[in-house]
Structures are given as structure tokens and as C-alpha cells.
Amino acid sequence: DQQVKQNSPSLSVQEGRISILNCDYTNSMFDYFLWYKKYPAEGPTFLISISSIKDKNEDGRFTVFLNKSAKHLSLHIVPSQPGDSAVYFCAAREGNQFYFGTGTSLTVIP
């Protein structure tokens, strides 16, 4: 069963607006959460992460929010740029293992 879920397979956003990608998880033992970005024909690349002891981490245009009580993670991109168009994977860590979601394909429309 999927422990990490991304229920929106795709998202379209106008350039300059905010993109919000969501992720839900079921395992309360996860202690670290990450977002990876994947372009076609390439492997995923690390984007941003957050420890379970925090509720927000910001890196430039990217901010990750963690709501532990709701077991919910979100990635905010603002302002969105056409180069942000990619598939975004949410991942969570338990011990030495990472569990990934199914990905959300973001399209930023110029």
C-alpha cells in the first residue's frame, strides 16, 4: 500500500503565480521529507527537504510546509516559472529507506 500519496497527477499554473503541490502520508514514523524534481529523460534531482521537527523550510522560490497532525506535506513555488515545468515527487524517510509518491506533473504556462 502506498505510504506516500500524491493525489493530483497534474497541475497547470500561469507563469508568475503560485504553484502548490500536495502530498499525504500514512506512516507516523517518517522523520524526514523531501521533494524531488524530474525532467523528461532524466533522473529525479533533489529540490528541498524538511525535518519532522520543523513545519516550514524555505529555499528561494521554494517553500515546503509540514503539517504532522494532518500527515500532510506541501511544496509552494512562487513565482512559478516555465522552467519549473517538471514532475515533482514527494518522498519520506523511515530509517534508511525512502518512500516516494507517484508524482505530480507541473506545467507552468508562459
Given the DSSP bridges, would you call strands 10-14 and 104-109 parallel, antiparallel or unpaired?
A: parallel
Give φ, ψ of 36 to 5 degrees.
Answer: -120, 150
Binding track over 74-103 against other proteins, x by CB under 8 A: ---------------x-x-x-xxxxxxxxx
Interface size with other proteins, residues (CB under 8 A): 25
Q: Is 53 in the site for other proteins (CB under 8 A)?
A: no
Q: Is 34 in the site for other proteins (CB under 8 A)?
A: yes
State the number of CA atoms in the 13 A half-sphere of 32 facing the CB: 9
- 4/13 with CB nearer other proteins: 4
Q: Is 22 in the site for other proteins (CB under 8 A)?
A: no
Identify the CA nearest to 7 among candidates 62, 74, 52: 74
Identify the CA nearest to 12 among candidates 107, 77, 94: 107
Query: Residues interacting with other proteins, by CB under 8 A?
Result: 2, 4, 6, 32, 34, 36, 41-46, 49, 89, 91, 93, 95-103
